[in-house]
Amino acid sequence: MSGNGQLKINIGCGLSGVAGWYNIDNSPTILLSRIPFAQKLFRLPQWPPNIHRRDVRKGLHFGDGSVDCIYSSHTFEHFTWKESLYIARECFRVLKPGGVFRIVVPDLQRVVRDYLKDPSDHASQVFLDRLSLNHNLHDWIHPGSNHSQMFDERSLGHLFREAGFAKPQVKMFMQSEIPDIGDVELAVRKDESLYMEACRTPR
């Protein structure tokens, strides 16, 4: 919990373990990196101690209505549609009434727009590379290596609504109902991302 007693969840945090947040990532290298000889032997990243290894596809281990806000950046595109809907519904379940759920994903519409404007002969290959939909053995080592789906404003809004959030809204970088959004929002993602959030209201 943060200093003011709020429970804030950061799903798919990567190496950015933010103080005051419950940081979750599912990389198998997290546990290995905490074994001193393994971390050096395999040249693993040094995961901060405040990052918890959890597979959110198996649910969120928080009580109903116990969480103040949930943030997830560049994570939901790595789930299948079925998985992402289950996780979004879990987020709805654990949020308090009025709690905020914010998702940041690569913006498919922007990728398509760039492709259509690209006059080069290899524009199609650049487009496919940016989609990162080619799963391979590397996914076993690093589950977030490639994408399982892509979102635009309509499909991401549909995910929110199917999960129970009545009024999802497109936001800009750093524009949020989460007061300390600057703690978790990374500027490096700003020019490629779609931002959307909603507040939990009773069903």
Q: Could you report the per-residue pLDDT of 74-83, keeping only the tens digit for each?
A: 999 999 999 9
pLDDT band (50, 70, 90) for residue 33: confident
Q: Could you report the per-residue pLDDT of 3-30, keeping only the tens digit for each?
A: 468 999 999 998 888 999 999 999 888 8
User: What CATH class does 8-199 carry?
Assistant: alpha beta
Q: What is the pLDDT of residue 142?
A: 57
Residues 6+ apart with CB under 8 A from 8: 1, 2, 20, 21, 22, 67, 68, 69, 70, 71, 178
Residues 6+ apart with CB under 8 A from 24: 9, 10, 11, 12, 13, 51, 52, 53, 54, 56
How far is the C-alpha of 43 from the C-alpha of 68, rounded, in Å? 36
pLDDT(51) > 70 = yes
| pTM for the whole structure | 0.89
Q: Which of 155, 21, 10, 16 is nearest to 72 (CA)?
A: 10
* Residue 153 three-state SS: helix
Q: Which of 159, 160, 17 is nearest to 30 (CA)?
A: 17
Q: Could you report the per-residue pLDDT of 106-149, keeping only the tens digit for each?
A: 999 999 999 999 999 999 999 888 888 876 655 555 555 688 99
